[in-house]
Every structure is written in C-alpha cells, then in structure tokens.
Structure 1
C-alpha cells in the first residue's frame, strides 16, 4: 500500500496532466477536422489518430533505446513519426487560435503540455530499466586488455636442452620458437618484445627469458 501511494504521488500528477492536456489538444484537432470537411465520427477519428500516433512513436522510441536498435539514417522512424504528429497537433491547435500572439500561445499550450507529460513518462520508463542488477553486472566478464599476453600451453613449448653444461641453456627449437614469438609481437605492436612479455608468452623463468632475449639479439 505504501509503495502504491508513493507511486501515485510521484506519477499521478504527470498522468493527470497528460489526460487534461491531451483532451484539450484533442478538442482543437476535432474542431479543425470538422471545419475542413471531416464531419461526424471521422473528426473524432482524425483527432484520435494524431494523439495516439504521438504516444505510440514516443513508446517506440523508448523501446529502441532499451533494445539498443541502431538507426539507419539521420533520424529514426519513431522520431520522424513523432515529429510529424507534433507538427499536425500544433497546426490544428493554432488553427483554432485567435490571431494574436497570446492566442497562439494559449492554443499551443495543450499540445505542448501533452508532449511534455509523455516525455516525462518515457524518461521514467527508460531510467527504471537503465541500471543492471549487481548479479548481472558481475556475470559480465571484463573485456581483455589490448596488451594482454596469453601464455603458451606447456604441451606446445619446445623442451629444454640440459646437455652437459653447468647451467642449462635454451635448445635450438626453443630459440626458434622464441624468435617466431618475437616476430609476431613486433608485427602486432610495432616494437621489440620485452623480457617480461617473452617470459609471459612462453611461460619460462626470468633467467631463461633473459637468455633467450640475449640470444635473439646476438643472432
């Protein structure tokens, strides 16, 4: 009950404004249609079509924002329809106005207030679904950084040649593999690979990465 009361106090004035302003604009459009040959129920139909077209276009515009639909031209189709409805509504209301500045202002007040009320309702509907729940936000994985270096699986790394030396050195196969990794890094980033990048790419120790980099530079 408290939630409903809060919603009524928050949204009620906007809905009342939309109804009153829509009724005023509706009357002017109906009278204009009657004066231009649309008698009987056709005058009412013209007024209903124009008013509901504005509401429908505003809702469709909000739906496009919610779904992320990309427009194919300078303006989207709902915006074009909404603009046409506004122009027709204002033209019909001004046609009923006294030909003075205040006459035009007062005649334009109902359609302007109606459009403001519709835009307020549209804005509230958009903001209500703008925030993602924390659980959804946490479920979205972060985008990888451009400089992220994926390590090579251990099964794909060439074996080390321990030999008979006091300190094991890199085998020729590992040197060749490191040379290909360094060439790919240079082609992708436009600069020589660093020791840390080579170590992360190959998954080897700091000392072995240093030895490999030294070998690459000397050869």
Structure 2
C-alpha cells in the first residue's frame, strides 16, 4: 500500500535555512581567499561544531553537570554562522575583504578542531567512592533478650557451685550423659566434658557434677 508523503513545514523551513546559511558561509570563505574544495569545507565545519556543541549541551544538562564550556562553543559556532549571513547581505564588499576577516577565516579550522576535540573528549567527573555498608539493624527486643541472657550467664558464673541450684530435668539429662560416657570410655565424665555436652556455665556444671558423684 502506497503511503502519501506529506511535507512538514518545519522540516522544509529547516532545509531552506540550512541551504542559505551553507551558501553564505561558502561565499564568505571564497571571498576571503579559500577557493576550491576549501570554500565548501567551511560551512560543513561550522555546522558540525554547532551541532556537536548543542548535543553536548543537552547531554550535560540531562546529567546535571556544568555546561558552560558547551555553551561557549555553541556561541562561537553560532556567531560564525550569523556573521557569514550578515556579511554577505551587502554590508561587506566581497571583492575587497578586510585583512582581519581573512585572518579569522584562515584561523577557523584550528579553532573548530580545538572546540570539537574538547567537546568530544571532555573528562567525566570521577565516580564517588563506594560507601561502607551500613551495619544491619537489630530489633530492640532481640538486643534486650541477648543482654538478659548475658547478664544471667554472668550472674551464674559469679556464684559458687554450692549455691547453684540445677533443675531436676537437667540433672536427669546429665545422668544419662554420664552413663553414656562411662559406657563408651570406662571412666567417669569430668566436669569440663559435662559442661561442654550440656552447654551450661562452669558453676552450674560443677554443681551438677557434684550431684552425680
């Protein structure tokens, strides 16, 4: 199915304006002594610098970085384009171009090369160093329970064995461990081994061991 191509007024206007600006730059460069292919290269150089500066400007603005350098080169390219349009409008005798204008036209390639290089190879800001990981948050109730357990263990450890009362269920479990140890090794279980098997503080293990003898 054939689609009808509808002309866009904005696109047409852009093409016409670009062609006129291109021709004005070519005529000015040729009048300043840049003949042949060099006169055609000047409009391309000016337009490319203008586009590159605008693209860099938008990139920096989107990234939230300073865009003063891109604005400067955009202004330089825009001044070169507007200057050529005004100069070829009859205000300047293209048959007798002043020396200062010849110097500007002759020095434009170096200026455009410098601007394009700085726009393309602009150093990026260094990334911030990785921050240290934050410690994991602990629920206050967990901290309270761990603190209470530590206090209880410390209190038990501070008591002499004679004053430590062992629960009957724990003593019964310790007796089973002692019998199993005697069966396997042929000797009575010592206090340190009993404490390790039960997982209790030393004073409580000593109190249980005293009740096993």
TM-score normalized by the length of structure 2: 0.41
- Of the two, which has the highest radius of gyration? 2
